Structure formats: C-alpha cells, structure tokens
Amino acid sequence: MKTVHCQTCGSSFVRATNCEGGIERLLSLVNLFPFRCQLCTNRFRVFYSGARHNTETSDRRQYTRLTASIEAQVLDSKQPSVTNRITDISMDGCTLQTTGLQKGAFIELVLKPTVEDETIRIQKAMVCSVRPSSIGIRFLDVQLEHHRRLAQVVLGLLVGQGLDLPVNA
C-alpha cells in the first residue's frame, strides 16, 4: 500500500476525510478519495486502491487532535485575562481548560507553546462546545506567520507522539 503525501507541502501527515457532495462520492467508487494535510491544511484527492475509504462517523473532524499541554490566554474584553491550558490541539482548533464562555462566542487567543517559542496569535476563534471544565474551540482567522508557527507546533507533536496517521482514519 502506498503512502499518501500532501501535494502542496510533501508531508506524509495526511488524513482521509469525508466526501463532500455527490461528485466526490462517485469518485470514491473509482478509488479517488479526499485527504486533508494535517500541517498545511491542503485538501486534495488521490487515487488510493486496495483499501476501503472509512472515516469514523463519530469523529467528523478533518484534523487529528493531538494531546498537548500549552499555555493560552483568552483575549476578551468581557473576561479577565487569565492563563489557561490547552489539552489537545490541531490546525483547526483545540480544547481549552476554562469556563465562563458561551457556545458561539468569538474570542482571540494567544498560545505560548514553550518558553523559547514565539507566541501564536489566533485572531478569531469560535467556542463550538462547552463542557463542565473545558471548551472546544475552532480557529477561524490565523495570519500566515502564526499559521506557520502553529504548523511547527503540530508537527512537533505529531513526531513527538510517534503518530503514524492511518490513511483510513
């Protein structure tokens, strides 16, 4: 079975993703499947024979969430400035240990991956889920330089956790 690589950045950290629309479902019948790069976020299609294309119905995410421990600060005029902890992260979002934010709220985040790394600013993020001690956040607007830093953090986590992303997620 061949290894799938991103057509934009060459990374092997790709994940099979759900088909969008009737055309992609038809293309999957001839083994042309959609994939999402976990680093540069490129979505592309690849001929992939010899395997069934399964995406777990329980996990609709297009990006693998990686266990992390990253300091983050919510910048919100309605909330006091407090440092929180990110417990998992991907290129598309994270889980933040905090309370007091409502589902649908728009926030700005500053991530501090390590002491020597530069901060990563997520200019616009949305609270997508609220749990008793944490919230699920989706990143909506990240400037290119911060996007690159986020990709470096995600790559470090992927390599550090020894993840070999399955093509048939």
The reported pTM is: 0.72
Same domain, 48 and 81: no
Number of independent structural domains in the chain: 2
Q: What is the pLDDT of residue 13?
A: 86
> Among 30, 108, 51, which Cα is nearest to 76's?
108
Annotate 14-26 with three-state secondary structure. Answer: EEECCCCHHHHHH
Distant-in-sequence, close-in-space partners of 65: CB < 8 Å, separation ≥ 6: 88, 89, 90, 93, 94, 95
Parent domain of 43: 1-62
Same domain, 80 and 124: yes
> By percentage, how much of the chain surpasses pLDDT 70?
83
Same domain, 26 and 6: yes
65-124 confidence digits (pLDDT tens): 899 999 999 987 666 677 899 999 999 999 999 888 899 999 999 999 876 668 999 999
CATH number at residue 107: 2.40.10.220
145-155 confidence digits (pLDDT tens): 999 999 989 98
> By percentage, how much of the chain surpasses pLDDT 90?
38
